[in-house]
Amino acid sequence: MKHIDLASSIKESDSKFLKKFPGFIVRWLEMIIEQDELNRIIEKYKDCEGADFHRSIIKEFNLTVEVEGLENLPENRKCFFLSNHPFGIIDGLILTKTVIEKYGTFKAIGNESFRFVPNLRPYIALVNPYGMSSKIYVTELEKVYQSDVAITHFPAGEVSRRYNGKIQDRVWQKSFVTRAVSCQRNIVPFYFHGRNSNLFYGINLLRRALGIKTNIELALLPHELFNKRNKTIRLTIGKPIPWEKFDSSMTHVQWAQKVKEHVYKMAAGNGSKLNFN
């Protein structure tokens, strides 16, 4: 079964740039993203649910996950569990696996690409990071915010790229600060150590240099997933940040960047013991 069908997705997309791709380019891209292998894996684990699915995928790729700071996960699950976004797929799987194993369930703020993985659909609160979200998305997301379910989130809204000579997230969106205050949700910061391949960042730089707006490097994210096979992924979990910290001394945009800076400081040793000041 084709859970992922790149040719069909391109035909249904709003991108005039992608629709100009000749058939041989599309077939080449299907090979690059290893479409057949992805569909095989999704089909293999189609009956797995929740934490079983996450564990199965991590076992499939023979990943070793090293976590520092598990003791920082609070008993109260009504929090935002947020992170930097260096990988694009693996970090999402490990972030949500960590949360679901602690709390039994979660909701992840994500885009429509998750519809390709049926196992994840019940756990996704959909948004459109590249445009206006529909009224249905907004209504459902509001219900999630007001609930007591654990929410995972990548505030950058996209995978890390090379900015100002460094591989890092772009400016973090302020929404998690706004919602942390309005819904009285504490922040639990995660930091993933690592990066994608030079090919991923090179394609991004070339695209930007050519003035191409379509994020064609996103097609490489499955390739990056397979690159992580048999690797060790390191994760640091920091101390919870009380929502009361986000007072009027700074704007929500400024607070969001301060949390981002704090997360990147967690890259150093003893990051799980770092206080948010």
Same domain, 118 and 244: yes
CA-based angle 270:275:277, to the nearest 5?
140
Give CA–CA dist 224/200, Å, rounded.
Answer: 8
Summarised one tens digit per residue, pLDDT across range 228-247 is 999 999 999 999 999 999 99
Statement to judge: residues 59 and 147 lie in one domain: yes
**Would residue 118 count as lying in a domain?**
yes
Same domain for 85 and 166? Answer: yes
> Residue 20 has what pLDDT?
81
Do 101 and 210 sit in the same domain of this protein?
A: yes
| Structural domain containing residue 264 | 50-268
Tokens of 15: 């991108």
Same domain, 154 and 253: yes
On whether residue 28 sits in a domain, the answer given is yes
Residues 21 and 83 in one domain: no
- Per-residue pLDDT at 130: 45
Beta strands in the chain (DSSP E): 64-68, 79-83, 107-110, 124-126, 151-153, 161-163, 166-168, 186-193, 232-237
Point out the least confidently predicted range of 58-67, 96-105, 155-164, 213-222.
Answer: 213-222
The reply to whether 158 and 255 lie within a common domain is yes
101 with 138, same domain?
yes
Domain total of the chain:
2
My answer on whether 120 and 35 are in the same domain is: no
Q: Are residues 94 and 205 in the same domain?
A: yes
Shared domain check, 125 and 38: no
Query: pLDDT tens across 204-231, in order?
Result: 999 889 888 878 788 788 889 999 999 9
Q: CA 74 to CA 136: how far, in whole Å? A: 31
Same domain, yes or no: 134 and 201? yes
Q: Is residue 277 part of a domain?
A: no
Q: For the chain, what is the mean pLDDT?
A: 89
